[in-house]
Amino acid sequence: MKTAICPGSFDPVTLGHLDIIERAADIFDNVIVLVMSNSSKYQSMFTIDERISLLERCIKSKNVVVDTYDGLLVQYAKEKGAVAIVKGLRAMSDFDYEFQQALTNKSLYPDVETVFLTASGKNMFLSSSMVKEVCTLGGDINSFVPADIAPDIYKRCKGDN
Ligand code: ADP
């Protein structure tokens, strides 16, 4: 059984993330979507538990579970016996950072491969930060996030909860 990990912040999950998760679920036997805290990166809009719950509400594939971890990704991969870390690649701007991460992870734990899936054309410029910005400024995010969770994001952006 081959297990892959899809790591990220998922603050919140977008249709771009879901596309990568579902494509990974078609390739691997099991997929773990790993919500990383990355506290240094930015101030998050949703807590880790909220992000997990939003992900669980939109993931339909049966071979996908959601988990969280605040340590080293390769350590988690080793513990789970994962063979791959699956990342989505959007524009060239993702490349430098992802390449550096993949090489670092490979040198820390050579048994895990980083697999890049290219973003679908329609999601090429979609990011969680873009969703938050558009939503906070009153724009329409319905074509960026799963319909099931759009109301939760609107509420949070309006400061209603
Ligand atoms: P973001 O950059 O939106 O904050 P994350 O840190 O949560 O994203 O990213 C988790 C993973 O999902 C990364 O591999 C990232 O490249 C990928 N990803 C994010 N948005 C998209 C998208 N629109 N299409 C494909 N992959 C994406």
pLDDT in tens, 84-115: 999 999 977 788 899 999 999 999 999 999 99
pLDDT band at residue 116, thresholds of 50, 70 and 90?
A: very high
Identify the H or E element spanning 106.
helix 92-108
Would you give the distance in Å from CA 1 to the centre of its chain? 22
| Residue 7 bridge partners (DSSP) | 34
| Strand ranges inside the chain, DSSP E | 3-8, 30-36, 64-69, 84-89, 113-118
Contact predicate 55/13, CB 8 Å: yes
* CB 90 less than 6 A from any atom of ligand 1: yes
Any idea which residues carry the catalytic annotation?
A: 17, 41, 90, 128
pLDDT band at residue 79, thresholds of 50, 70 and 90?
A: very high
Report the residue among 20, 42, 45, 135 best suited for mutation to probe ligand 1: largest number of ligand atoms under 8 A from its CB.
20
* pTM (predicted TM-score): 0.94
pLDDT at 74: 97
Which residue's C-alpha comes closest to atom 11 of ligand 1? Answer: 8
pLDDT digits (tens, 9 = 90+) for 123-150: 999 999 999 999 999 999 999 999 999 9
Q: What are the backbone angles phi and psi of residue 160, rounded to the nearest 5°?
A: -80, -20
